[in-house]
Structure 1
Amino acid sequence: MHGTRIHRELPKKRKFQYEIEFTSEAVKSNLESSVAVYLVQKSCNVKSEAIFLVFNLIFTPKKPMRTKVTLKIECVTDGIWKFPILLTATEPDVDDVIDFEGVGLFKEAVIDFRVSSQTRRTEPFTAYFLPGSDPEFFVKPKSGDLLPYNTKGTLITVGFKPRMYSKSYKAKLAIQTADMYWLYDINGLPQEYTPPMNVKPKINTTNKIYDSLPTRQRNFLRENAKLLRTGVSSTIKGAPMVTKHK
């Protein structure tokens, strides 16, 4: 008896096209340079007649965001599949830490630094403090244009105006363009309070007439012996001070 070999027909060769779809043209212009997808592996299972596609999605955000995109896969013979993807970029590590000490209560202390665009052209920017920052800080300007990267950059001024002693102040400053995001930790300490030393009083608390009087030593035993009765403040009103024996 001769055995029979059964040949199972392999699936026909299929070509797939794929792309990332964005929710709007504005989102596409902001994310297109930060998102890329590649087909790294394609395999098929003859028994289950299934085709497996493995993609590599690269997401390199330049600022915090949370948005949705769709991976669209199309096969001419089998149809179209869409897979929603949620992209989330959290706050990055700080780019720098700014520490400065106040010059006094209700007095402004400022620090200047420069930031430039990462391109050869100027870029609009906004500067703002994240929620939770102390209101004793301020930034100027709050918006404007960053000069190109091959220049000195745009001058940013951060100010600090403490309102009480012995308190540490903290803030997070963000500077943002359409493509870039910088984050700064800011720490402020009021000027350390030093009490005045060797300062003459404004009010004369001395009595020169009293100081010139001679000092008289009092003999309290003799004075108490001369008292005949207890005083008004005594618990035994009007009692004699010395018991008389007849």
Structure 2
Amino acid sequence: MHVLKNKIVLAAVAGILMFFAGCAGSSSSLNESAAVKDAKAQNREIDKQAALEAMFQKFLAAIRVDTPADTLLEMLTDPSENWLDELERHAMSYTEAELDTCQFYEIYSILLYRLYEREHLWEVSEDRMLWLYLSKAGMFQRFTSLKLGPMKVKNDRGSIGLANSPEVPIMLFEWDDNDWKLDLVETVPLITKGVEATAVKKNWTDKKLALYWLDREYHLQYSRLDESLFNPIGF
């Protein structure tokens, strides 16, 4: 009887030891899995960082030459492309009163578009608002000539700031279907944020500020940089 009890006890002890050994092995396996996941995530971030830097260099090269519109649009998010199309329609139709519904940077873009139309400055027949922003003579070409800081990646968002304030983003990018795209809709307000502070200080409307900056840049080249640009000019 005692022999049988001893056998039962030994079997139970062996079972318990095997159970804890299995748990320890399972825990070790989970720890290894977590470590592998962390390593993979870190490698993905490194790859995305490299991809963003490569995309940005490609973008800089594209806006410094006469790159076809289709190529430029491939570098933009879909909402950015839609925004440019809508802004071009507004440039051809919005009245002075309707401009009051726009942001400063949109008003400035519309007035500049109308100036190009009035002075016959276009070098393209389509995607003209895109051309105003991203051609070799466009707004971004001049802006990206400034000294820029390092690029940063956080999850599916990328950014870059000026060299003297790298933590303050002035351009934003979105990870879209394994490619980086410029988020123009979110980027333009960041670029013009400092300019818009002038309107607050002087208690100006966005229309007046847009006209002021247009005159500041083009007054030596063109006349009638005035309220006549607030309305469509015969598109």
| TM-score tier (shorter) | under 0.3
Structure whose CA Rg is larger? 1
* Higher strand proportion (structure 1 or 2): 1
TM value normalised by structure 1: 0.19
The answer to which structure, 1 or 2, has the higher relative contact order (CA under 8 A, 6+ apart) is: 2
* Higher helix proportion (structure 1 or 2): 2
